[in-house]
Amino acid sequence: MYSSILRERSSSFTLTSWIRIFSRNMGGGPRTFPGGLNKWQWKRMHEKKAREKENKLLDQEKQLYESRIRSEIRSKMLGNTHNSSEKTTQSHGPVSSQEHIKSLADRFMKAGAEDLWNEDDGPVKKSNHGSGSIDSTIEVRRFVSMGNDKNRIFDRSSRGYSSMSRGGRFKRNESSCDEGDEFDGRKFDTLSPFATNFAGKKEKVKSARNVNGVMRNKGLFSGKKFRKNDSSTEEDSEDDGKLNGWMDLRRTGSSASLGNHDVKLTKRVNRHVTDDELYPPLDINVVREDLSKRRLMENVVEENVESRDSIYSRKRFDESCISPLTLKALSASGIVQMTRVQDATLSECLDGKDALVKAKTGTGKSMAFLLPAIETVLKATNSSNSRVLPVFVLILCPTRELASQIAAEGKALLKYHDGIGVQTLIGGTRFKLDQQRLQSEPCQILIATPGRLLDHIENKSGLTSRLMALKLFIVDEADLLLDLGFRRDVEKIIDSLPRQRQSLLFSATIPKEVRRVSQLVLKRDHSYIDTIGLGCVETHDKVKQSCIVAPHESHFHLVPHLLKDHISTTADYKIIVFCSTGMVTSLMYTLLRQMKLNVREMHARKPQLHRTRVSDEFKESKRLILVTSDVSARGMNYPDVTLVIQVGIPSDREQYIHRLGRTGREGKSGEGLLLIAPWERYFLDELKDLPLEPIPVPDLDSRVKLEVDQSMAKIDTSIKEAAYHAWLGYYNSVRETGRDKTTLAELANRFCFSIGLEKPPPLFRRTAVKMGLKGIVGIPIRK
Ligand SMILES: Nc1ncnc2c1ncn2[C@@H]1O[C@H](COP(=O)(O)OP(=O)(O)OP(=O)(O)O)[C@@H](O)[C@H]1O
């Protein structure tokens, strides 16, 4: 009897049939069966039926498995890096493991598929319990569509597939089997659709594990088995010998996709798989077709991206004729693709032509002029036999921080060039130290602010003779440097430069007047390269611009409110607050610091060491607020600034654009907010072509209001008085308000009271005269 039981067990019977046979052998059940069959004939007939079902299923599985392999090969050939969810959207793309499992599940759930579920011999039962039951179907459906846990399972199956695609063999991760994926407190070891009635059979699975030692070492999901390569045959055959109980094993350890048919019944022989087998000719054609379709799609996408707000062009640096060592430095910094301005200017600049270049803020103008600068040095070094150490390239920029920033970028590009030096000449450092540095270290590229450069030129420090070899003169923020404030200095500098040179002017804003005065620097036949385009918006689409018009007295209350609002919604906030003058900046900073906000201050009145430290810190930081004057408005590349607030009107439209341009750099998004008083509304006319949205004045939180008042009361009166004087000086210089002195004095007094001063502090007589404010009502003069 027991030998018959064992025979039964070794056949393809399931647990239920095993129990039934056992009970029959123990004397239960009918002795004759329909059709006059005896029990052995009856049993053999159903064994045969069961085998047929198994074979049918095996065929289906095989088909799916093959298509899956083809998909994997195809995806590998296409170098597909998309995730599975993306794959599912492509009709011709490879099938993800998730898809595959879903399709299996669907197949088992189709009408009439109950037959496939029937584990018992004989006709399909309609009961809830057992094979083909609705319960099992639901279990599989739930299993397949399970939320987070499913990823673990799909992951597991996909891991198996990916291993196969690598090694040409199915390789399962042992640890993944150990994880024992658990749903609703039940433990499922497999994704096999045969794993019906999980709860009922869990015990059996468990005991099988315990009795047999470590089940996974025997079964089809043995890590050992699938990880083996050529030397695996011996162990395989040993495993095969243990497969007598495979009906048990299949419930616990089948691969996700193959169910129990992944069990190896014959010894696995490692054989060489030919290329033809691996990549059938038909598939290659399909793959080629897919590949060309995909390329076509990529091109369309690329073009679309480029035509929108992308700052990048499709040209790569290695397609240009810049030196290989510079290319090496670029790729070391992960820079491969040119930005539009670089693409538009590089060849022109390398040809030695003069150019006036306009491109939006944060689009890589510095690199656009640094690359030709390096090429110029390389060319000039080869042909120069001068005994003095010549400066071949001079770059002029308006602020010290910007000069240092450009020098740092230049040094990074020169990383692999030996003997080429970049130096800065900027205010705030000792003149003598500049001279020593210029003598002792190489300086083919000099970056300077106009004031300090002129000092060196006028003091005959030896720089003038070195500048006689100049080949390339670059003016960054050209509109500002050619504007009245700097023009006289720039003219003097130009006078001391050789006439035979190339000149390049760069800025994000080039008003008409600047185009006219650019003749001061450029040759008549220079090129004008405008990458923004006539009539196009000069700011970035990805930067949201809004404007709040509120009485000036409320600005010191509104700024902390706006900051707190932004901080509460932006985890990695990085904010710049622009104030009209250095002293107003100082007052705003002191107030915000009193309110315990994480804030730094930067303006021209601060010592250079402080400025450098703060600038470096702000570059590196997140969750920090920089309160600053216009020293930070131009060129400064502080990465990932999330919000720019401008308090009060800027000096002009250009300055608004440059300040705003501290956010949304390198094509990123950002936010800009202009906070002005009702009488400053006229300035909005200058910005009417920009997408600036007026927003209502926010309701002030009474707690913030109280906090501001208390903090303001603690601030030293001298800071407030200095702020009042600076405020008066600034608005006096603004044409629109400066004209009507009485109104200006009135507005200044309102500002004065809003910052907690009881009366306006008196002006020096000389200052009042200079400002045209002597004798104006409301402007007290110091006796
Ligand atoms: N081709 C490029 N690929 C990737 N990043 C680049 C590329 N060119 C420049 N960058 C980076 O873009 C950032 C902004 O560049 P840059 O400061 O030169 O902008 P800008 O146009 O001069 O801005 P602004 O008008 O404010 O002076 C820098 O961090 C720079 O390293």
Does the pLDDT at position 728 exceed 90? yes
Mean predicted confidence (pLDDT) in 752-781 = 92
312 Cα–ligand 1 center, Å: 11
Is residue 393 within 8 A of residue 474, CB to CB? The reply is yes
Cα 304 to ligand 1 centroid, rounded to whole Å: 22
Residue nearest to atom 30 of ligand 1 (CA): 364
CATH class of 313-530: alpha beta
Are the CB atoms for 659 and 636 separated by under 8 Å? no
For residue 496, what pLDDT is reported? 94
Q: Is 193 in the pocket of ligand 1 (CB under 6 A)?
A: no
Write the burial class of residue 411 (CB in 10 Å: 0-12 exposed, 13-18 middle, 19+ buried): middle
Q: What is the pLDDT of residues 552-563, one digit of tens each?
A: 889 999 999 999
Backbone angles phi, psi at 216, to 5 degrees: -65, -20
Handedness of CA 594, 599, 602, 608 (dihedral sign): positive
The Cα–Cα gap between 363 and 350 comes to 19
Question: Ligand 1 pocket check: which of 312, 363, 413, 663 to mutate, most ligand atoms within 8 Å of Cβ?
Answer: 363
pLDDT of residue 124: 44
362 lines ligand 1 (CB under 6 A): yes
Cα of 667 from ligand 1 centre, angstroms: 10
How is the chain split among helix, strand and coil, in percent rounded to 5? 55, 10, 35
Q: Which helix (H) or strand (E) holds 177?
A: helix 174-178
Ligand 1 atom closest to residue 636's alpha carbon, by position in its atom list: 26
Ligand 1 pocket member 539 (CB < 6 A): no
What percent of the chain stands above pLDDT 90? 54
Between 116 and 443, the higher pLDDT residue: 443
* Cβ(71) – ligand 1 distance below 6 Å: no
Task: Give strand ranges (E) for 565-680.
Answer: 574-578, 599-602, 624-628, 643-647, 670-676
* Exposure class string for 59-73: b at 16+ Cβ within 10 A, else e: ebbeebbeebebbbb
| pLDDT value at 605 more than 90 | yes
**CB atoms inside a 10 Å sphere around CB 675:** 24
Strand-pair partners of 662: none
Q: Domain ranges in the chain?
A: 313-530, 544-699, 716-782
Is residue 335 within 6 Å of ligand 1 at its C-beta?
yes
Q: Is the CB of 661 under 6 A from ligand 1?
A: yes
Lowest mean pLDDT segment, chosen from 172-181, 334-343, 438-447, 464-473:
172-181
Tell me which residue has its CA closest to atom 22 in ligand 1. Answer: 365
pLDDT of residue 68: 76
> Hey, is 86 helix, strand or coil?
helix
CB-based contacts of 72, cutoff 8 Å, min separation 6 = 94, 161, 162, 164, 165
* ipTM value for the complex: 0.99
CA nearest neighbour of 559 among 629, 623, 647, 624: 647
In short, whether 192's Cβ falls inside 6 Å of ligand 1 is no
- Name the residue among 619, 720, 355 with its Cα closest to residue 504: 355
- Top mean pLDDT of 35-44, 72-81, 584-593 is at 584-593
Residue 389: the pLDDT is: 85
Closest C-alpha to ligand 1, atom 9:
364
Name which of 375-379, 411-415, 533-537 the model is least confident about. 533-537
Ligand 1 center–CA 301 separation, angstroms: 24
| pLDDT attached to residue 213 | 37
Q: Which tokens is 338 given?
A: 């040119």
- Residue of 131, 135, 139 lying closest to 113 (CA atoms): 131
- What is the distance of C-alpha 686 from the center of its chain? 34
Q: What is the pLDDT of residue 267?
A: 47
Residue nearest to atom 11 of ligand 1 (CA): 364
| DSSP label at residue 667 | G
Number of other CB atoms surrounding residue 317 within 10 Å: 19
Query: 76 pLDDT band (50/70/90 cuts)?
Result: low
Query: Is 218 close to ligand 1, i.e. is its CB under 6 Å away?
Result: no
Are 672 and 545 a contacting pair, CB within 8 Å? yes
Max mean pLDDT range (95-99, 386-390, 640-644): 640-644
- Tokens describing residue 730: 């600034």
Q: Note whether 701 and 557 are within 8 A (CB).
A: no
DSSP 8-state class, residue 27: T
pTM of this structure: 0.64
In 3D space, the residue among 621, 580, 581 whose CA is nearest the CA of residue 600 turns out to be 621
Protein residue with its CA nearest to atom 10 in ligand 1:
364
Structure confidence by residue, pLDDT tens digits, 353-372 = 999 999 999 999 999 999 99
Cβ 635 under 6 angstroms from ligand 1: yes
Residue 647: strand pairing partners: 675
- The pLDDT assigned to 57 comes to 85
176 lines ligand 1 (CB under 6 A): no
Q: What is the DSSP code (8-state) at residue 604?
A: T
Residue 159 has pLDDT above 50, yes or no: no
Number of the ligand 1 atom closest to the C-alpha atom of 658: 26
Which ligand 1 atom is at minimum distance from the Cα of 402? 27
CATH, domain 544-699, list 3.20.20.80, 3.40.190.150, 3.40.50.300, 3.40.50.12280: 3.40.50.300
Express each pLDDT in 615-625 by its tens digit: 999 999 999 99
Q: How many other CB atoms are there within 10 angstroms of residue 242's CB atom?
A: 13
C-alpha distances (whole Å) from 212 to each of 204, 208, 250 are 12, 6, 14
Q: What pLDDT, in 10s, does the model give residues 441-480? A: 999 999 999 999 999 999 877 899 999 999 999 999 999 9
DSSP character at residue 575: E
- The mean pLDDT of 280-289, rounded to a whole number, is 61
